[in-house]
Each structure stands twice: as C-alpha cells, then as structure tokens.
Structure 1
Amino acid sequence: MSSSASEPSGSMRDRATRTSTETRSSSTSTAAGVESASTAAPSPLSAEQLPRTMTVLTISDASAVRAGLCMSSLDSTCGRSRPAPAIVQSAGRGLQLRTRRSHSLNSEGARRMSDAQMRLRYRGTCRLCSNDLPAGTTAIYERTTRTTRCLDCGPPAPAPTTATTVPATAASVATPSPERTPVGDLRLRPPAAAVIVEALRAQESAPPRSGAARLFGVSPLTPESQPWYLGAIGELEVARMLDQLGAEWHVVHAVPVGNGGSDIDHVVVGPGGVFTINSKYHQGQKVWVASKRILVGGHRTDHLRNARHEARRVAKLLTRATLAAVVVRPIIAIVAAREITFKERPEDVSVLRSHQLARWLQRQPTVYSSAETQALARAINDIQTWGAATPVEPDLIAFAKLRESVAAARRRRRVWAVGILALPFAGLALVQLAPLLPF
C-alpha cells in the first residue's frame, strides 16, 4: 500500500522536473535576446515547490515583451502548464519580468475579509501610522495579525509577492501598476483648498455687519472662521513661494489623505527628494525653535510632531504606490513671524521662513533622476495614492470677496489709528497758532 502510494508522487516529481526543463529551454529558444538571471542549472523541484518559485528574466529587447513573451508555472494538482500573471518593471539596463503566485490575490482577499471595524475597548496604536487610539475609538481590527489600524490609514497594503532577490539599482522607483487608472489629478487642486472650505463654512454663521461696524473697520471674521482664514492665508503665501521652483519640480497642494478629513498642505517632488511642507501663519509673533519643541508667543505647539507624522504617512503611501522605498523629509514653513530664534535646530525637520523655501529646495543635492522624479510626480498627482475620496472644491470667488472685506476693514482701522495718533499733534498745533488767529 505504501509503495503504490509513493509511486504516483515520484512520477509526478519526474514529470514536474521534465516540464520545468522543457519550459525553460523553449523560452530560451523562442525569445531572442532573453537570457536567464542565473546561469547555474536549476535544481530539480517537486510539484509542491514549483508554484511557490519565482522566475526572473532580464529582457534586453523590449520587442520580446511586445511579441507576447510569457512565462508559465506548473499546476501542483494536475501537473499541467498554465500561464501565470507577470509584472514588468524598470531594472537598470533592461526589463525585469516577474511572475507572482497565482494564489496571492486570493490570500489578500481573505486577509481583507478577516478585518473588522469595531469600537476599541482598550487603548491601542495604529499599526501603520503609529498614532495612539484611545479606548472607545472606532478602528479596524486585523484578525490575522491581531493588530489595529485607524480609519485614516484605509485598507492595508497588498501582501508582498515572492520574488528572486535582485540587486537594487539607482532606478529603483517604479511607476504605479498599469491597472490603476487615475480618477483625479491633484495638480488641478488649488492651494489651501481644504481650509478655505472650512473657513467659508464657519463664516456662514456670521451676522451681517452694521453700518457703524463697517465705518470703524470691524473685521467680518467670526471667532470660528478666523483660525481657518489665517491658515488659508499662510498656505497661499507658501504656494506663491513654491511657484518660483523650476519645471523639474512638482508640487501638489491641500492633499487629502484617508477618509478622516485630514490633508497635507504641500507635497513637493524634485531632483532633491520628496518633501512635505506644513505652513504656519504666525503674524507678528515671536517663534522659538529647539530640537524637540517650537514655542510661538511663549506657548508650546505640536508643529514638530505633526510634521514628522505627515512625513511618515506620505512615505508609507508613496512606497505603496511606487513599489519602492521612498524617503520623505518634513519642512515647517513659518509665515509673517516677527522674529524666529533658533536655540537648536531639529535634526529631522527643517524649519524655514516662507521666503527661504524655493532657494533651500533648489540647493539640495540630487537624489532622483528625471525618470524617477516623473514616476513620483505621477504618484503624488493621483488621488488614489492617498486613499481619499474626491474632495470638495472650494468656492474661490466667495473666499476672494471675504479676503477683500477683511483687507478693507484693516485699511479702515489703520486710518482711524493714524487719525487718533494725529489728534494730540493737531491740538498742540492749534494751541500754538491760536494767538495768531484773527478771532
């Protein structure tokens, strides 16, 4: 009984070995210019091992791919040869053709089906962005890894495919997979779009100003809309500074991330790398910068922590979109501050005045080629990269009118201030000239 049971297994192993050898030899003789990534003779593999292997070929002639070159994997059940899905990526001098396991999508689908959205009974930490999740927060529990992730991080990254190790090259940034069709181009999104929407929404509750309020230059902004309005002014100023960059730089503004309503002020890609810029409008304030904190007007802020979090989040999303490790450097751009004192500069966050941005970016050493920069630019322009729904577009005309009203009120206040300061001098002049008057 045992000998008869082992005989089919041995015959299947022999048949698998012969089929593997025939497949390799036929692929070599059919496609011109195709050579194996390893010149050593392949060792015999069992039928159970073949579906888990990955064959890597270097194709020096792209016409071989266009001619319909395909690869095959062996079915471990029946021993018949069948085509396997393939991915074509840029790899130095030629093209790299890699096959994926046929069951990788099924395992990924099963893993996503095992996730559950629930309210946390205990405090946790997001596996993807490392944010704290207090007890009672709605989050996603991953049963397979027994970890949690926040709703902003969206679905988990696809399971990595098994592949033969290939030495890293300078052109390690791959373009997004061809099946991802962009549905939104963030290049068309105006700067400060998200905060403009919030400012106008908060301003809707503002009562109409009286004639006296207009005469004396009372600001039309409400206490709720003023922080959003000032944030929008800061982002618009930083965007104006970024317009000074050359054509080799790519910038997107007000990038929506996840489904929690958060956004990133500016994402910049160029020869010098990838950067996130957090705009901070502190008009007339004294800013004190140290390695671990930033004080504005003597009060602590979370500027450094937020900038680091945004950079980590963007790095994770771009790595997922480009299939290559992406390093993102955070920048804090301070607008309209009266004074900035640097006690100690942070090591991982660059703190700059807004007018220093363009020159500072252009002075960074080159780390990406033109092709790599274009690939990253396509990734940041695609809204699918950020895992967010199509954002609400701001009413730029309404915001322009609000901005003009605020500027007009400011001018009136200045006129009144100058008039009040001039009154004592006018009275003194009147006293001096009184004896000379005819009456």
Structure 2
Amino acid sequence: MRLRYAGTCRVCNAALDARTEAVYERATKTVRCLSCSPPVSADVAVVIGGEPPAAPEAPGAGVAVVEAGPVDAGVAGASARREYERRQAKREERIRAKHPKLGGLILALSDDPQSTTAWDAGALGEERLGTRLDELATDTLRVLHDRRIPGTRANIDHLAVTPTGIYVIDAKRYVGKRPSLRVEGGVLRPRVEKLMVGTRDQTKLVDGVLKQVELVRLIVDEDVPVLGVLCFIESDWPLIGGAFTTRGVDVLWPKKLYPRLASDGPHAAQVADLHARLARAVPPA
C-alpha cells in the first residue's frame, strides 16, 4: 500500500518515505519494504497503485490486489512482536499514570527492562530468518511461521517442509555469544550433553525443540523424517567448524541451514500435502 506517513521497515530498518509503496502486515500492524516482502499469506496483502477497493470491478482496472493462497503461512515473529509491544505499552501506561507530569521525560530517559527487550530481540531474529526462508521457498520447499501449539502458550518459530523431511526450526538471537557442546561423564558416569551459549547452560532450548519435534511427528504420522534445528542468528561462530548435533537436534547458523533445506530427497511428492496438513493442525499464533 502507499504509506500515508513515513515509516521504517521492521526487518531491514530502511527508512520509508510517505507515499512509498510497501507491505502492511495486519497481524503486527507494521510495514515492510517490498524488498523484504515474503510470499503473500492470509495476513499480508500487497497493493500497487493506491488503496484497494472492497471488490475490484475487473482485472487490470488500475488497482492490482495480490490474493492470498489457501494456506496461511503466517508472519514470522508475529506473536513475539505483539508481546513486546504489549509489555512496552503496559510499562508506558503505568509510568504515565504514576507520574502524570514527568511520565514522558521518564520514558525518554529510561530503557525498557531486559524482560521486555528480550521479546524484541527474539522477534527480530525470527523475522530475519523468516524473510530468508520465504525467499528460498519453492513448490518443494514450503514454510510456515509462528505456529501456535494447541493447548499450550508455546509456539513453533518455523516449519520447513522439504523433499528430505520436515524441519522444526527454533530461531535464537544471541548476539556475539558462541554456542558450544559440553560433554560430561562417559566411561564411569552416564554421558550428559549440555548446550552452552557463552558461559550459560541453555540445554533447555534443546528440550523445547525435542517437544516440538514429537508434536509434529504425531501430526504427520508417516514415514517422513522430522528434524529439529536450533538456528542461532548473529552469534559468534568460529571460522572453521562450529555446527554440531546434540540429542538429535542440529545446532547451526542460517547459512549452514539453507543448503540442507534446498537438498533433493525422496519426499518431494508429499511436500504440498504435508504443508497443508501442518497448516491446519498448528494455526498461526
């Protein structure tokens, strides 16, 4: 759509002047520049040449609306972005109510707490990875973003359905931190694998992905591999090596992931059906 006011692309942070053509995302009430636009889903409508009419009179009548397909692919990072904005708005409301005269100044001179900014960082990581996954999407590489796990408050960041199987991808943005595998025990004690991010034990991230993998296996119920992935964005990876597998979950970075998703495999004919089935079973968050 043509922007009424100047704005900023929430993916690449490019400045967008008023009247610039851009993509409006209903789920997050934000905009993307056209170069960062994913394939259109039910939550995204691209309008060229002005505001869309309620019902176009005829094709090519001056306003072209790109219609969504039958499968809602979701918007990457949408639920994390909403939670960040909710917490930010609640803090602002609380401060302004407590300090009617100085609230604006307090907000200008103070930062959001880490418990709030963590949602922003997580959303940005999902958005950036989701944008690239959408660019890679083909008839045999189909993706879903930000899927709600029924009966829980948890979500799956990304699902990629490919000829080699279904990838359950959890995006993590730990800027400047190095993921590594620590192995304890072995000969006389049980072997224990721990996922370290910097100096912190983050093995719980592996536990979370394994639960998501099991859920997807129950939905698919076919002889199709379901693979768990922890994809760390903007982390401190070494120049040589770095990627590893722990308890069946691959730990890597985006450029290491993309070739795996694009590989040929024996399940190409099942991609469309599996994609649609997963979209119905795990709706957008």
Provide TM-score, normalisation by structure 1.
Answer: 0.40
State the secondary structure of the residue aligned to 1:293. Answer: strand
Mapped pair 1:353 → 2:261: no
Mapped pair 1:366 → 2:265: yes
CA distance, structure 2, for counterparts of residue 346 and residue 256 of structure 1: 25
2:201 is matched with 300
Mapped pair 1:240 → 2:107: no
TM-superposed CA distance for 1:285, in Å, is 1.5
Tell me if the contact between 2:181 and 2:194 (Cα under 8 Å) persists in the aligned partners. Answer: yes
Tell me if the contact between 2:73 and 2:143 (Cα under 8 Å) persists in the aligned partners. Answer: no
Task: Indicate how the Cα distance of structure 1 residues 327 and 231 shifts in structure 2: closer, same or farther if over 3 A, else same.
Answer: same
2:168 is matched with 276
Task: Indicate how the Cα distance of structure 1 residues 226 and 366 shifts in structure 2: closer, same or farther if over 3 A, else same.
Answer: same
Tell me if the contact between 1:251 and 1:269 (Cα under 8 Å) persists in the aligned partners. Answer: yes
CA distance, structure 1, for counterparts of residue 234 and residue 279 of structure 2: 29
2:153 is matched with 261
Mapped pair 1:195 → 2:97: no
CA distance, structure 1, for counterparts of residue 243 and residue 223 of structure 2: 33
State the secondary structure of the residue aligned to 1:276. Answer: strand
The aligned amino acid for 2:250 is: S
State the secondary structure of the residue aligned to 1:244. Answer: helix
Aligned residue among 223, 230, 240 for 2:121: 230
Task: Indicate how the Cα distance of structure 1 residues 186 and 280 shifts in structure 2: closer, same or farther if over 3 A, else same.
Answer: farther
Q: How does 1:25-424 map to 2 (within 5 A)?
A: 187-207=72-92, 210-211=104-105, 214=108, 219=111, 221-247=112-138, 248-290=140-182, 292-301=193-202, 302-319=204-221, 324-339=222-237, 342=242, 345-346=245-246, 348-362=248-262, 364-370=263-269, 372-382=270-280, 385-386=281-282, 391=285
RMSD of the TM alignment (CA)?
Answer: 2.7
State the secondary structure of the residue aligned to 1:187. Answer: coil
CA distance, structure 2, for counterparts of residue 298 and residue 277 of structure 1: 23
TM-superposed CA distance for 1:213, in Å, is 6.7
The aligned amino acid for 2:175 is: Q
TM-superposed CA distance for 1:188, in Å, is 4.4
Tell me if the contact between 1:331 and 1:351 (Cα under 8 Å) persists in the aligned partners. Answer: yes
Q: Percent identity?
A: 18
The aligned amino acid for 1:376 is: L
Provide TM-score, normalisation by structure 2.
Answer: 0.60
Tell me if the contact between 1:264 and 1:310 (Cα under 8 Å) persists in the aligned partners. Answer: yes
CA distance, structure 2, for counterparts of residue 361 and residue 188 of structure 1: 17
The aligned amino acid for 1:361 is: L
Tell me if the contact between 2:244 and 2:252 (Cα under 8 Å) persists in the aligned partners. Answer: no
CA displacement, residues 50-86 of structure 1 (integer Å, 9 cap, x when unaligned):
xxxxxxxxxxxxxxxxxxxxxxxxxxxxxxxxxxxxx
CA displacement, residues 355-382 of structure 1 (integer Å, 9 cap, x when unaligned):
33222322x4402032x11111111222
CA distance, structure 1, for counterparts of residue 275 and residue 105 of structure 2: 51
CA displacement, residues 318-374 of structure 1 (integer Å, 9 cap, x when unaligned):
22xxxx344310011001112357496336111111233222322x4402032x111
TM-superposed CA distance for 1:227, in Å, is 1.5
The aligned amino acid for 2:274 is: L
Tell me if the contact between 1:285 and 1:296 (Cα under 8 Å) persists in the aligned partners. Answer: yes
Tell me if the contact between 2:164 and 2:225 (Cα under 8 Å) persists in the aligned partners. Answer: no
CA distance, structure 1, for counterparts of residue 132 and residue 246 of structure 2: 23
State the secondary structure of the residue aligned to 2:135. Answer: coil
CA distance, structure 2, for counterparts of residue 243 and residue 378 of structure 1: 16
CA displacement, residues 122-172 of structure 1 (integer Å, 9 cap, x when unaligned):
xxxxxxxxxxxxxxxxxxxxxxxxxxxxxxxxxxxxxxxxxxxxxxxxxxx
CA displacement, residues 392-428 of structure 1 (integer Å, 9 cap, x when unaligned):
xxxxxxxxxxxxxxxxxxxxxxxxxxxxxxxxxxxxx
Consecutive unaligned residues of structure 1, counting only runs of 5 or more, are 1-183, 392-439
TM-superposed CA distance for 1:241, in Å, is 2.2
Tell me if the contact between 1:242 and 1:357 (Cα under 8 Å) persists in the aligned partners. Answer: no
Task: Name the count of aligned residue pairs.
Answer: 195
CA distance, structure 1, for counterparts of residue 77 and residue 169 of structure 2: 12
